[in-house]
Amino acid sequence: MSKMANSEVKEAASDSTAGKMIFEPILEDGVFRFDCSANDRDAAYPSLSFMNSNDRDVPIMSNKVPLYIPSFECLLGQQLVKLELPVGTSFYGTGEVSGQLERTGKKVFTWNTDAWGYGPGTTSLYQSHPWVLAVLPNGEALGILADTTRRCEIDLRIKCRIQFNAPASFPVITFGPFPSPSAVLTSLSHAIGTVFMAPKWSLGYHQCRWSYDSEERVLEVARKFWEKGIPCDVIWMDIDYMDGFRYFTFDKERFPDPKSLVKDLHHIGFKAIWMPDPGIKHEKGYFVYDSGTDHDAWIQEANGMYFVGDVWPGPCVFPDFTQSKIRSWWANLVRDFISNGVDGIWNDMNEPAIFKAITKTMPESNIHRGDNELGGHQSHAHYHNAYGMLMARSTYEEMELADKRKHPFVLTRAGFIASQRYAAMWTRDNLSNWEHLHMSISMVLQLGLSGQPLSGPDIGGFAGNATPKLFGRWMGFGAMFPLCHGHSETDTINHEPWSFGEELKYVLKQEGLKIIILQLVRLSPKGVHGDFHCVWEFIAQA
């Protein structure tokens, strides 16, 4: 079907009225695709959530029929989908969301947002998962996915009803009912893929700060972990290692020899993770900008000019990761970058975040010249929620190719429901208080219930100053998170464990967290890079 015909079908479909959705079985027994009409089914954009888009688009032979059938209403270009479930049903999922674990009674929006200092009522965070896991009164479970990359309202405020509202038209996929939530998540993983195989060292404790601002400071922190016998396997480099925030560069005075730094870190048992973001400084003579311009790599405004927006380096242009040729160009930059001894890569600010913009991101009218298998040429409104995932994909795939002997490690701030195939994630700019400690537990669990099991918060809180008691308690819980990651922003007090002095040791001992802290030894591949008793002494000798 031509793009013009496809567009005409979509416009006609979006003006249809209401009714029960039509369905066909896909993927495996118990999984169904629903559309408003046959025309809507034919006109649907390719799936960016399914591991293989054909699995969503090609029906299978099955005698089963769905137990629950959604209804729809289409008006003024919007599609509202409703699924009624039995009284007593409770709702979970919805991806990266703050607040309570059970989502019954809540409403969220899937729109990746730079949400510094979010609270329990914030409706959009850094990742988008248009997915709900329903637990039925009989103990069975049902999953439902609105397979759209567009801004989507997930409304669970009416008891026993799931509502999705997004620009028309989009298919809805149901998984189950199956005997348990785990069975639903297993079936979901067959559709969207499982989490990438992380390297063993990434399961240890990670220490980060915005920023350790010199090679000397990085080594000082790493050696102090060693000297004090505190489990730690990874040191992270935030934006200040660069030359003027130019990505894929190193400051010649403060980080003059990154290869030597990484070699020294490896010698004492540490890995090094470094950050490149998507905002490339708009500056002739900067090799990444010049190369990207030669490759016609940048996202365009509606008028065809390259979009320029402010981020850390100042005025920036942004790679169009919806094109395979641009992902390959980015991958070459990654290959050269990791030749410096880089063990892992941290993609931040990739909603993409834009400074000095009311919306905190680029205009929705911007243009992506995407490949047909992703949806073709579309506005930023279509690709916004998938941008961070496509960046992570490009980074991960090149790291995988660069050294097949090693498992890549990528961390991404922004993502979509299938991002777990390429990257871990963290719950980003939290606050150093008890409410955010409490929320961090439900947020990590919620991400796991939405197909992203490898996640964790900034232990101790990113913004604000932790107290010894708060940090000690958070470290105890953090040891149990899949990603165990301490991080704090500039202008806060130091948040390395020893920074809290004797009081932290007392807190750990008095609150009975010795066993939990020692969990870090179990997770750490090097086992504290030494003897088990070092950690015991750190905790017990208060």
How far is 398 from 80, CA to CA, in rounded Å?
39
Residue 10: C-alpha distances to residues 16, 43, 103, 152, 358 (Å)? 10, 6, 32, 18, 31
- Candidates 62, 52, 196, 78; CA nearest to 146 is 78
Phi, psi of 115 (to 5 degrees): -120, 55
- Give the up-direction half-sphere exposure of residue 355: CA atoms within 13 A in the CB hemisphere: 9
Q: Do 506 and 470 meet the contact criterion of CB atoms below 8 Å apart?
A: no
518, two tokens:
């020692």
Alpha-carbon distance of 538 to 517, in angstroms, equals: 11
- List residues bridging with 314 in a β-sheet: 311
For this structure, is 429 an active site residue?
yes
- The maximal CA–CA distance of the chain, rounded, in angstroms, is 74
Q: Which residues does 185 contact at the CB level (< 8 Å), separation at least 6?
A: 133, 143, 449, 451
Beta-ladder partners of 459: 486
User: Per-residue DSSP letters for 477-504?
Assistant: HHTTSSSEEE---TTSPP-SGGGGHHHH
Task: Clarify whether 320 is annotated catalytic.
Answer: no
Catalytic residue among 96, 140, 348, 496: 348
Cis peptide leading into residue 177 (ω within 30°): yes
Please tell me what DSSP assigns to residue 179. Answer: S
* Strand order across the beta sheet in which 161-167 lies: 18-20, 71-75, 78-84, 161-167, 152-155, 107-110
Supply φ then ψ for residue 176, to 5 degrees: 105, -160
Which entry of 40, 251, 398, 429 is annotated as an active-site residue? Answer: 429
- CA angle, 97 then 430 then 361, to 5°: 70
Please say if 348 is a catalytic residue: yes
CA distance 360 to 442: 26
With CA atoms as reference, report the closest residue to 54 among 174, 162, 191.
Answer: 191
User: Which helix (DSSP H) or strand (DSSP E) does residue 336 occupy?
Assistant: helix 324-338
Catalytic pick among 351, 458, 489, 496: 351
- Please name the amino acid found at residue 420: Q
Nearby residues of 107 by Cβ (< 8 Å), 6 or more positions away: 123, 153, 154, 155, 156, 157
For residue 211, say if its preceding peptide bond is cis, omega within 30 degrees of 0.
Answer: yes
Q: Which is nearest to 400 in space by CA: 323, 344, 454, 484?
A: 344
What amino acid positions are annotated as catalytic residues?
Answer: 348, 351, 429
